[in-house]
Amino acid sequence: MTVYAVVNTKGGVGKTTTAVHLATMLARTSKTLLIDGDPQASAASWAAWRRETEHKTSPTTTCLTGKAILSEGKSLAAGFDNTVVDAGGRDSSGLRSSLLLASVAIIPVGASNLDAAAMTDLLEVVELAKEYNPNLIVRVLLARVDPRTKDTGEMIEFLKEQNLNLLNTRVCERVAYRRAIGEGAIVHEIGKDRHAIEEMDAFLEEVTK
């Protein structure tokens, strides 16, 4: 059983997009639970939209907040091969509970100075969580990347300085992701953007190694 927590204290980094794609791709081959731990309930909204479509493979989705993510999430996750937690977008008991429940923490991060500043705060929370969850694996995913700027290279250097394990996959800013989420789908199911599909396939392969 593997529990993936998708976390960041900064909004707008593609956290929910990452979580629902990972959960749905995992659900294709294994019994998968998606926990929406964000009070904004974006993943739950996506799941509701999905139920209105003909997309067949779906993770089981539930909403938990605060400390219930750990206390209830642990018993719920025991019935699944994989669990994905979409944690709240700020330092909260929910985010910290997600890190305590997780086997793997995935941190989607943009490539701006604001993202770097937020990472500094988040890393303090992660390090505290690792005192209680010493086997926690942390992976950073560069997301919503604009390939036309030099910001990505600067962020990569910053992450290396922090000795963080950066995934090779880069997820670019694409209309396909916004469209897929709005339709309760993933990019594979709307099938319009080959590059988006390749990015998500590469992410899945890398994060599940």
Average pLDDT per 10 consecutive residues for the chain, totaling 209 residues: 93 91 97 95 94 89 95 96 90 90 94 78 89 95 79 80 88 93 94 93 95
Specify whether the CB–CB gap between 177 and 187 falls below 8 A: yes
Burial zone of 127 (CB within 10 Å; 0-12 exposed, 13-18 middle, 19+ buried): exposed
Q: What is the pLDDT of residue 61?
A: 96
Q: What gap in Å lies between CA 116 and CA 176, rounded to an integer?
A: 26
- Quote the number of domains for the chain: 1
Distance from C-alpha of 208 to C-alpha of 132, rounded to nearest angstrom: 23
Q: What's the CATH number where 83 sits? A: 3.40.50.300
179: domain range? 2-207
- pLDDT at residue number 115: 80
Task: Quote the pLDDT of residue 168.
Answer: 93
How is 118-158 classified by DSSP, letter by letter?
Answer: HHHHHHHHHHHHHHH-TT-EEEEEEEEE-TTSSHHHHHHHH
pLDDT given at position 95 = 92
Give the position of tokens 């990972």.
Answer: 22
Question: How crowded is the C-beta side of 165, counted as CA atoms within 13 Å?
Answer: 9
**C-alpha closest to that of 44 among 68, 19, 69:** 19
Decide: pTM greater than 0.75: yes
> Residue 11 carries which side chain, given as an amino acid letter?
G
